[in-house]
Amino acid sequence: MDDTILHFDNLTLGYDRHPAVHHLDYAIGAGSLVAVVGPNGAGKSTLLKGIVGRLAPLGGEIRLTGITVSEIAYLPQQVNIDRSFPISVFDMVAMGLWRKTGAFGQFGPDGDRKVGEALDIVGLGGFEKRPIDTLSGGQMQRSLFARLLLQDARLILLDEPFTAIDSATVRDLKGLIHRWHGERRTVVAVLHDLDQVRTDFPETLLLARELIAAGPTENVLSPVNLDQARRLTEAFDDGAAICGR
Amino acid sequence: MGRPYVGDEQQGFIPSGGECVMYDAILAPFVEFGFMRRALVGCLALSLGATPIGVFLTLRRMSLTGDAIAHAILPGAALGYLVAGLSLGAMTLGGVIAGVVVAILSGLVARTTVAREDSSLAAFYLISLAIGVVIVSMRGSNVDLLHILFGTVLALNDAAIFLVAGIATVTLFGLAVIYRPLVMECFDPGFLRSVSPLSPVAHYSFLVLAVLNLVGGFHALGTLMAVGIMILPAAAARFWTHDITPLLVIGVLVAFLSGFVGLLLSYHTSLPSGPAIILTAGAFYLFSLGFGSNGVVITHLRSRRHLEA
């Protein structure tokens, strides 16, 4: 691993003083392809929210090297998007060019071409004028990946990108993730399917609020580690004492 | 609309039978009476300003927020009334201040306590409504109370028309400026926040525009009806299109038509003008709900006849 792009330094993130990520120390190298895994409630999504600055740390810090927060591309879980909104696939994907156009910048033929190319890459060529409320779950996820493509980001965060998505779409989108990896972009993805992680992600972060293990995927996803993760996440103790660490 | 030229010049000014009825019913009230023309201009301005705001309110599932802010304006306008009587300036200023304060307060309460935004808004507006009615009845008559609750679109003076038209102008410019971030804020606020710091700018500018338009609508239609010209045309338009740009255009057209038809209805049947306009908008809504291209009837018929795979 050469230079790091993302550094967690004794990081604690949480809601209402309850830590969801507890005293995390880790560094993610530029250009790496990292899976974040762990049981429900392990703090995986919380960690991504912390990285994009939507949640301020309760303790410790997150350091970005060489990029700013607004240069991160972040795909939250799909449930947060209003899928009945009256907007076309083209307009939604074009939002990915925000950093170039901003609130007033001209959106010319160059933008049209880029949106068209991104849609072609995710297999949705010709879908430009479709209203998004007519898309299937898989097609929606493809268009969101097209928007990510246009963001042209060096750090890409994906929160459960393949949950409830058909296998053909998963295959195509994984291809896209590998393409990003080949372009030396850093990709951090929250995932549930451990087989997927083993085949496609060289590096893994196993969380159960505390960091259980991190590093090469094969070592991290050992039965001992997975069992420990399962046992650690269960409690949410309202009477918990103040953490002394 | 031109009338046919019949025979020689003299007859040209006399409409033929059927046209005469149409003329009497539709154009004569506006040609003959200045107050009807003023009311129509007021409705046009309201349609251009308030309805686009209403479209965004419905898209953000904030229709009830609009309602709540409309009520919240009342005590401010009532205080203005208490100080200066039925004065346009005092009531406008009071209304804007009260509306902005309640919009921001309820947002704060929702963000910093366990209460959700809708319940805190409801709490604030119920209190505001009660305070407002108390203040007006402390000094004024029932006529004044009716004026404040239901407006007087037929008695708009020059100053009121300039105010409503000015608000429409500010709104259209304002929406043009915040259009992109506002659309993103409605559709995918998380994405907007991840790429730009403009999310709160879009949100609060939009709230201010909403308050301004409700105050404008308040002068014409009263606190209880002002929100109708925002929400009903916007809700009706949603049954005709899948895209936001036509949605805005259709909304404005429906609102203006409602104003036009509602004023005529009020003129011919002596109904109060504000409720007549809102009722017309309501009729457009119900018609669209049934027969719009995304409406109940058409969707139902279409779903039985499936397309080829």
Give residue limits of the domains in chain A.
1-67+154-245, 80-152
Confidence of residue A78 (pLDDT cuts 50, 70, 90): low
Q: Which CATH architecture has domain B28-301?
A: Orthogonal Bundle (1.10)
* pLDDT bracket for residue B208 (50, 70, 90): very high
Task: Search chain B and give the residue with CA nearest A51.
Answer: B194
* Predicted local distance difference test score (pLDDT) of residue B126: 86
| Nearest chain A Cα distance for residue B291, angstroms | 19
Handedness of CA B21, B27, B30, B33 (dihedral sign): negative
pLDDT tens, position by position, B96-139: 999 998 888 877 776 677 767 677 778 888 888 888 888 888 87
Q: How high is the pLDDT of residue B309?
A: 64
Average pLDDT of the residues in B259-272:
93
A24 SS3 class: strand
The larger pLDDT score, comparing residue B279 to residue A163, is at B279
Residue A133 DSSP class: G
Residues of A with CB under 8 A from a CB of B: 52, 54, 70, 72-74, 76, 80-82, 85-88, 91-92, 95, 98-99, 101-104, 131, 133-134, 147, 151
| Mutant choice from B195, B243, B245, B250 vs A, greatest count of A C-beta within 10 A | B195
Taking CB atoms and an 8 Å cut-off, how many pairs form between chains A and B? 67
The residue-averaged pLDDT of B287-296 equals 90
When the pLDDT of each residue in chain A is averaged and rounded to a whole number, the result is: 89
Measured CA to CA, the distance from residue A40 to residue A36 in angstroms comes to 12
Q: Which residue has the higher pLDDT, B13 or B83?
A: B83
Contact: B190, A98; criterion CB under 8 Å? no
**Number of neighbouring beta carbons within 10 Å of residue B295:** 18
B178 contacts A86? CB cut-off 8 A: no
- The band of B7, judged by pLDDT with boundaries at 50, 70 and 90, is very low
Q: What value does the CA radius of gyration of chain A take, rounded to a whole number of Å?
A: 19
ipTM: 0.82
Would you call B298 an interface residue with chain A, using a CB distance cutoff of 8 Å? no
Mean pLDDT, residues A183-209: 94
B2-to-A37, A115, A143, B15, B261 alpha-carbon distances in Å: 73, 48, 51, 10, 20
Instruction: Pick from A99-113, A138-152, B142-156 the range whose average pLDDT is largest.
Output: A138-152
pLDDT of B214 above 70: yes
pLDDT for residue A194:
93
- CB half-sphere exposure, B80, CA atoms < 13 A: 21
Q: CB count, 10 Å around CB of A166?
A: 13
A157's enclosing H/E stretch is: strand A155-159
CB proximity list for B219: less than 8 A, separation 6 or greater: B88, B91, B92, B151, B152, B156, B160, B163, B164
DSSP string, B101-149: HHHHHHHHHHHHSSS-HHHHHHHHHHHHHHHHHHHHHHHS-HHHHHHHH
Q: Is the pLDDT of residue A71 over 60?
A: yes
Rounded (10°) CA dihedral A97, A103, A105, A106: 80
SS3 A57: coil
Q: Contacts of residue A52 in chain B, CB cutoff 8 Å?
A: 194
Please name the residue that has the structure tokens 């550094």.
A7
Compute φ and ψ for A60, nearest 5 degrees: 70, -165
So what's the pLDDT on residue B110? 67
Answer with the residue of higher pLDDT: A236 or B21. B21
Residues B239/B299, Cβ–Cβ less than 8 Å: no
Query: Is the separation of the CB atoms in A63 and A103 below 8 Å?
Result: no
Q: How far apart, in whole angstroms, are the C-alpha atoms of residue A97 and residue A86?
A: 20
Q: Residue A59's Cα: distance from chain center in Å?
A: 22
Contact present, A143 and A127 (Cβ < 8 Å): yes
Distance from CA of A13 to the nearest CA of B (A): 18
- Closest by CA position to B215, among listed B260, B144, B163: B163
Model pLDDT, residue B4: 47
Choice between A235 and B175, residue whose per-residue pLDDT is larger: B175
Which one-letter DSSP state was computed for residue A64?
E
Which CATH number describes the domain made up of A1-67+154-245? 3.40.50.300
Q: Which of A52, A70, A86 sits opposite B244 (nearest CB)?
A: A86
Alpha-carbon distance B237 to B250, whole Å?
Answer: 6
Residue A101 class from Cβ within 10 Å (0-12 exposed, 13-18 middle, 19+ buried)?
A: middle
The predicted pLDDT at position B12 comes to 44
pLDDT of residue A170: 94
Contact B244 A87 (CB under 8 A): yes
